[in-house]
Amino acid sequence: MSNKKLELITIGGGCFWCIEAVFQEVNGVEKVVSGYTGGNAPGRPTYREVCSGLTGHAEVVQITFDANKISYQDLLFVFMTSHDPTTLNRQGADVGTQYRSVIYYHNDQQKLLAEIVVKEVAQYYDHPIVTEISKAGIFYDAEKEHQDYYRNNKTQGYCSAVITPKLVKLRQLHADKLKNTKV
């Protein structure tokens, strides 16, 4: 008999490669899948279509986590401090609605907790938080080459310049919530 209590959290905060790499290090996270959601374009979207900004979809990750090891709220605190939730439709050089800061809730309890966490972390930022809180819709897995991107491409320029510093920050802010991993 398993003592696991598996739940889902779906979030977007810029490029999904960054968010995926961050949450792969968090203790209690069982699986992280990069993908797309939140749009209304018909059919399964492609990376190119989502990057165009015309599908309405956001780049997100869908995380399966063990709620007996880490809470939904703790995951949201990690999320809200691993990207800039005060920039509308932008994270660094990534600009467009597909890079919006968003929490997709899967039930009413998640919605309530997301609202509470966003309100709590707002006091730590100089600008208003623009993170969207929306009901989860259909989630589409991103193409295979976008899964485990950082693990498979650590020496690539984007990974070295953008993702590695995020992981350093993660380890400083949330060391108590991490697996034993190294960059």
Name the catalytic one among 15, 18, 51, 159: 15
Report helix, strand and coil shares of the chain as percent, to nearest 5.
35, 25, 40
| CA 108 – CA 103 distance, rounded (Å) | 13
Catalytic annotation on 51?
A: no
The pTM of the full predicted model, rounded to 2 decimals, is 0.94
Percentage, residues of the chain above pLDDT 90: 92
Q: What is the pLDDT of residue 110?
A: 98
Average pLDDT (137-152) is 96
Q: Does domain 6-177 bear CATH number 3.30.1060.10?
A: yes
Statement: residue 182 has pLDDT above 60: no
At 72-103, the pLDDT tens digits run: 999 999 999 999 999 999 998 889 999 999 99
Statement: residue 113 has pLDDT above 70: yes
Confidence of residue 43 (pLDDT cuts 50, 70, 90): confident
Asked if residues 65 and 21 have their Cβ atoms less than 8 Å apart, the reply is no
Mean pLDDT of the chain: 94
Q: What is the pLDDT of residue 181?
A: 59
Average pLDDT (47-72) is 96
Instruction: Give the residue extent of every domain in the chain.
Output: 6-177
Q: What is the pLDDT of residue 1?
A: 56
